[in-house]
Amino acid sequence: MTLKDVRDRWIEDRRSQGKAERSISIFQRNFAAFIDYLGGDEDRDAKTITPDDIEGWIAHLLAKGLSRKSIGDSHIALVKAGFMLSRRKLPQWPFENVRFTVPEKRTERSKGFTSDEASAILKAARDGLGRGPRTPETLRRAYRWVPWICAYTGARVGEIIQLRKQDFREENGIKFIRITPEAGTTKTGMFRDVPLHEQLLAEGLWEFVADLPPGTVFMPKPKTEGAFIDTTAVAGRLREWIRTTVGIKDGRVQPNHAWRHRFITVARGKMSDETRNKITGHADGNVSAGYGETELPVLVEAIAQMPRIAFT
């Protein structure tokens, strides 16, 4: 069994379960980096991989300056998962007695944006800060609208970046977005409808999208129909824009994911946990949550409880 066999077997297993292509793409990237470290031979016999190889690889990643959390969560965990599926075919377990600890992260501030940070980002987006004549059109749209939509929906940034024009919908006078794996990927593999906050409508989002041609709103149109949409590049540009252009440099907050944390913090006490989870796409572990749907009017009422972000 070669390293290629180990990789392909894991990918085939994930796809057979209908798992998100984004997670498969991340695995492929990290497993390829592991093979490169070993010399780049994907036809190497997987049985020859030893704990010494794993420990040397970890030392290599540390020397590159990667954080211990990134190494543990993204590199070791994914490569180990790949080998785990083929473990019974390996006479020696490559991770035998390999110990790698990730120190507990100190919490010194909220994971979500403060009111001042949120205000600064949304104002910069509205004012066109950092958008020049050479900025691609879809990226200009992303700078303008993705932070705003994330702020008032609590959605994952990738879920918003992959939105298509047809995902902006209206039923019985209710304007909402449909976040669906049909557009790209969702963590739970399920669709959900999220009403648009009145502030988004007041900003002109609905009219803006109505004037666009069919297809993706914040990304270039895929070259082939049904191709996997990788939102990583646009998310990276948004992260850089918030850090360098807007000036939110605090390394203790993740520029894209902080909207999700902020929304959930503000929503607590304003809507039920079940409704909040329906809006944000969080699995609550309750069996009953898999039965029935939450009707749009209920979600509209909940979204209406979210206060406007004030501007100074």
Each residue of 89-99: pLDDT tens digit? Answer: 888 899 998 88
pLDDT tens string 220-246: 877 666 556 678 889 999 999 999 999
Residue 85 has pLDDT above 90, yes or no: no
**CATH superfamily membership of 115-304:** Intergrase catalytic core (1.10.443.10)
Question: How is the beta sheet containing 168-171 ordered, strand by strand?
Answer: 168-171, 174-179, 192-195
Residue 202 has pLDDT above 70, yes or no: yes
pLDDT value for 291: 47
pLDDT value for 50: 93
Specify whether the CB–CB gap between 30 and 58 falls below 8 A. Answer: no
Residue 67's pLDDT band (cuts 50, 70, 90):
confident
Residue 310 has pLDDT above 80, yes or no: yes
Mean pLDDT (whole number) for 299-312: 90
The residue extents of the domains of the chain are 3-89, 115-304
CA distances from 306 to 54, 250, 259 (A): 48, 25, 13
pLDDT value for 130: 85
pLDDT tens string 140-152: 999 999 999 999 9
Whole-structure pTM over 0.85, yes or no? no
Average pLDDT, the chain: 88
Residue 287's pLDDT band (cuts 50, 70, 90):
very low
For residues 175 and 282, which has the higher predicted lDDT (pLDDT)?
175
Mean pLDDT (whole number) for 10-26: 83
Residue 292 has pLDDT above 60, yes or no: no
For residues 104 and 218, which has the higher predicted lDDT (pLDDT)?
218
Query: What's the sign of the alpha-carbon dihedral 19, 25, 28, 34?
Result: negative
Specify whether the CB–CB gap between 275 and 294 falls below 8 A. Answer: yes
Specify whether the CB–CB gap between 163 and 218 falls below 8 A. Answer: yes
Query: What is the chain written as a DSSP string?
Result: -BHHHHHHHHHHHHHHTT--HHHHHHHHHHHHHHHHHTTS-TTSBGGG--HHHHHHHHHHHHHTT--HHHIIIIIIHHHHHHHHTTGGG-SS-TTTT-----PPPP--S-SSPPHHHHHHHHHHHHHTTT--TTS-HHHHHHHHHHHHHHHHH---HHHHHT-BGGGEEEETTEEEEEE-TTTS--TTS--EEEEPPHHHHHHTHHHHHHTSPSSBSSSPPPSSTT-----HHHHHHHHHIIIIII----TTS-TTTHHHHHHHHHHBTTB-HHHHHHHHT-----GGGGSS---HHHHHHHHHTSPPPP--
CA distances from 281 to 111, 138, 156, 178, 201 (A): 18, 25, 9, 12, 22
pLDDT tens string 245-269: 999 999 889 999 999 999 999 999 8
Mean pLDDT (whole number) for 60-87: 89
pLDDT value for 69: 84
Residue type, 290: G
For residues 108 and 47, which has the higher predicted lDDT (pLDDT)?
47
